[in-house]
Amino acid sequence: MIRASIMGATGYAGVELVRLLTAHPEVRLSRLSSVSFEGKALSEVYPALRGICDTVLVGEEDVTEETDVLFCSLPAGHAEKMARRCVDKGVLFIDLGADFRLDDEADYIEWYGGAYQDKELHAVQVYGLPELFGERIPGAKIIGNPGCYPTSVALGLAPALREGLAGTQGIVIDSKSGVTGAGRGLTQTTHFPDCNEAFSPYKIACHRHTPEIEQSLGRLSGKEVRVTFVPHLLPLNRGIVSTIYAPWAGAPLEEIHARYWAFYQGKTFVRVLPLGEAANLKNVRCSNYCDISLHLDRRAGKLIIVSAIDNMVKGAAGQAIQNMNLALGLPETAGLMMVPPAI
């Protein structure tokens, strides 16, 4: 059995990792760390886990003991030190935060406000979006797990940009996320009376995921891409829908649909919907699926792509486990075939 440990196990993405890894056939949970709840059982913090994961939370110093893979689920800026320790010990390191996602350090400095300290680590980092950039994941030592919005956008646009079905200039991305995307820390905007029965954009054209989205779209198209990205906060717990408007290159919608279908053939977690249907976050909740639907605004010359994921699963913990499976030579889908609740 592979021994998996989690830093930041009390956070939303961390506890989702616990939920999924508990049912993984090849994994045994080892160390779970917390700063705020060290010494308490995880099930005291999340009573849903009573009798399922009563593991006592340890401090960060102990989290790499008896460990083959460490999932680091902390806010950005905290991952390097632990990544170094893991690399030196031969432990696979998977960061759910943003510290190993961006190739260009200048982007990290601009959007996250800190420089890379241990540059050797960044020379071997691998961006873990298996359906699109999976070739370097097997055997990787450090995996930067993609952000939730960038996952939904890159999967939605990949066939269009790889195959020239849409232009790269003037792409507009309108994304909506449930409140768990903001993590468990309470802020004014995520306070129940403020977000319930409310709906608004935030960080308009200045969200930190913008350079990561542009990095993926640039790799897919082979061109420099600039996008307009506007996220919104939905008064729901989970889920992301990204509605993407891209310049239509002229192919009939039926052909675009056939090319999308062929592109994702054999990719278990991406479902290209029949024409006429629209992707809905309800249909991917609690699962590792990404649903994609395709639409054409012939009058305005826009290909409209709708992409839906669960931000906590395909957007975080599920994709991190998919990356672990590939890095360690397990079946890609191991522990990830959760069926979304139909109602």
Ligand X SMILES: NC(=O)c1ccc[n+]([C@@H]2O[C@H](COP(=O)([O-])OP(=O)(O)OC[C@H]3O[C@@H](n4cnc5c(N)ncnc54)[C@H](OP(=O)(O)O)[C@@H]3O)[C@@H](O)[C@H]2O)c1
Q: Kindly list the catalytic residues.
A: 148
Distance in angstroms (rounded) separating the CA atoms of residues 156 and 109? 27
Please report the sign of the dihedral spanned by the C-alpha atoms of residue 219, residue 222, residue 227, residue 230. Answer: negative
Among 40, 89, 184, 191, binds ligand X (CB under 6 A): 184
Determine which residue in the list 128, 150, 315, 318 makes contact with ligand X, applying CB under 6 A: 315
242, 311, 323, 325: which one binds ligand X (CB under 6 A): 311
Q: Which is nearer to ligand X, 316 or 327 (CB)?
A: 316
Options 91, 121, 132, 312; binder of ligand X; rule CB under 6 A: 312
Site for ligand X in 63-122 (CB under 6 A): 73-76, 78, 96-97
Q: Is 179 in the site for ligand X (CB under 6 A)?
A: no
> How many residues line the site for ligand X (CB under 6 A)?
28
Name the nearest CA neighbour of 156 among 337, 309, 310, 311: 309
User: Which residues 6+ apart lie within 8 Å of 35 measured at CB?
Assistant: 59, 60
Distance separating alpha carbons of residues 253 and 165, to the nearest angstrom: 10
Amino acid 201 reads P
Report the largest interatomic distance among the alpha carbons of the chain, rounded to a whole angstrom. 62
Q: Which stretch binds ligand X (CB under 6 A): 4-12, 168-176, 199-207, 218-226?
A: 4-12
Residue number, 172 or 182, with CB nearest to ligand X: 182
Q: How far apart are CA 89 and CA 42, in angstroms?
A: 26
d(CA 124, CA 78): 18
On whether the CB atoms of residues 123 and 102 are closer than 8 A, the answer is no
> How many residues in total does the chain contain?
343
Q: Give the interface segment with ligand X, choosing from 104-112, 168-176, 179-187, 329-337 (CB under 6 A).
A: 179-187
The answer to whether 36 contacts ligand X (rule: CB under 6 A) is yes
**CB nearer ligand X, residue 14 or residue 335:** 14
Interface with ligand X (CB under 6 A):
8, 10-14, 34-37, 73-76, 78, 96-97, 147-148, 180-181, 183-185, 311-312, 315-316
